């Protein structure tokens, strides 16, 4: 069996969320569980089954100057993924801190093995529709349509920085909130590229709508790698929320798998946690979610 790790990033008010994300995964998967963040007193109270990784230590190993405010926090996720692979993990799953695993998702690991990386195609409803391919359902995002949310001049500049052409704009655009990878050399090279381009692009990245995700998708397009291997369901997983379309539900072929929750966070996680094992109760009490 491949050696697996599941990680989330958590710091400050997000520490409790990240802890719940990886703790829920531990109920359904035998992977090693990790939280990465900046050293704090919260680390002393982590359950023994969850490892803590210091982002400072991770980035120093890659020779990076540590400036926490320089990037969106999720930029550091890609260094943590690469660091875990260097520790011998063959499969790694990254979860945003607003995710919950509610069942086994073997399709996720299988998809990552097949293509090196697996994620769900993102929602296209808030993107320029002339850049979205025709079809049914909201999950039809393309790279050009996603970057265009930041403005056409920003999109053109990012394409120049990465070395993309207009033809690359039709590449599928995935959501990085649930991201499964294996340690194939193609993936380690992609993560190295990510760190290099993040530093090269510098403060320009702040002008992107979803900077860490936009950069990942641009590099996937540059390398011709399709990552949209997982199956997103439709909106409105929780029926009592009516028409409130602020939830993404990441699913396997025939069952609920991983929930990616949007705001309002607290009501959503309360509802989702009722579906999980009561062993999470102590986690919620010790690390309240804001």
Q: What is the pLDDT of residues 34-65, one digit of tens each?
A: 999 887 656 776 777 889 998 888 888 876 65
Q: Is residue 130 part of a domain?
A: no
**How many structural domains does the chain have?**
1
169-183 pLDDT per residue, tens = 999 999 998 999 999
Q: Is residue 153 part of a domain?
A: no
Q: Is residue 271 part of a domain?
A: yes
pLDDT of residue 268: 60
For residue 251, what is the domain's CATH number?
3.90.550
Q: Is residue 156 part of a domain?
A: no
β-bridge pairing 256-261 and 117-121: unpaired
Q: How far apart are CA 260 and CA 51, in angstroms?
A: 22
Contacts of 15 (CB under 8 A, 6+ apart): 35, 37, 40, 42, 287
Give the pTM.
0.86
pLDDT band, residue 102 (cuts 50/70/90): confident
Q: Is residue 140 part of a domain?
A: no
Q: What is the span of the domain harbouring residue 209?
A: 4-118+175-286
240-290 pLDDT per residue, tens = 444 444 444 454 444 567 877 765 555 566 666 665 655 566 555 555 554
Q: Is residue 164 part of a domain?
A: no
Which has the closest alpha carbon to 143: 99, 199, 209? 209
pLDDT of residue 164: 96
Q: Is residue 113 part of a domain?
A: yes
Q: Is residue 123 part of a domain?
A: no
């Amino acid at each position: 069996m491949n050696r697996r790790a599941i990680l989330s990033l958590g710091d400050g008010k997000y520490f409790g969320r990240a802890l719940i994300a990886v703790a829920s995964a531990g109920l359904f998967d035998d992977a090693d569980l990790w939280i990465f963040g900046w050293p704090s007193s919260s680390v002393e109270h982590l359950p023994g089954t969850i490892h803590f990784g210091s982002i400072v230590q991770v980035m120093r190993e890659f020779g990076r100057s540590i400036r926490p405010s320089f990037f969106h926090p999720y930029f550091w996720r890609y260094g943590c993924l690469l660091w875990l692979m260097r520790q011998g993990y063959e499969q790694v799953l990254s979860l945003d801190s607003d995710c919950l695993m509610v069942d086994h998702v073997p399709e996720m690991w299988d998809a990552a093995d097949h293509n090196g990386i697996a994620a769900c195609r993102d929602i296209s409803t808030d993107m320029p529709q002339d850049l979205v391919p025709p079809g049914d359902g909201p999950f039809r995002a393309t790279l050009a349509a996603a970057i265009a949310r930041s403005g056409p001049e920003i999109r053109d500049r990012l394409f120049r920085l990465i070395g993309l052409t207009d033809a690359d704009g039709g590449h599928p655009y995935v959501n990085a909130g649930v991201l499964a990878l294996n340690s194939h050399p193609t993936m380690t090279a992609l993560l190295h590229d990510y760190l290099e381009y993040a530093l090269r692009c510098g403060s320009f990245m702040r002008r992107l709508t979803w900077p860490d995700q936009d950069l990942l998708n641009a590099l996937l397009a540059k390398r011709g790698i399709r990552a949209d291997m997982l199956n997103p369901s439709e909106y409105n997983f929780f029926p009592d929320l009516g028409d409130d379309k602020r939830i993404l539900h990441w699913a396997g072929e025939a069952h609920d798998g991983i929930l990616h929750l949007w705001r309002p966070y607290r009501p959503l996680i309360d509802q989702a946690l009722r579906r999980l094992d009561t062993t999470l109760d102590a986690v919620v009490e010790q690390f309240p979610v804001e």
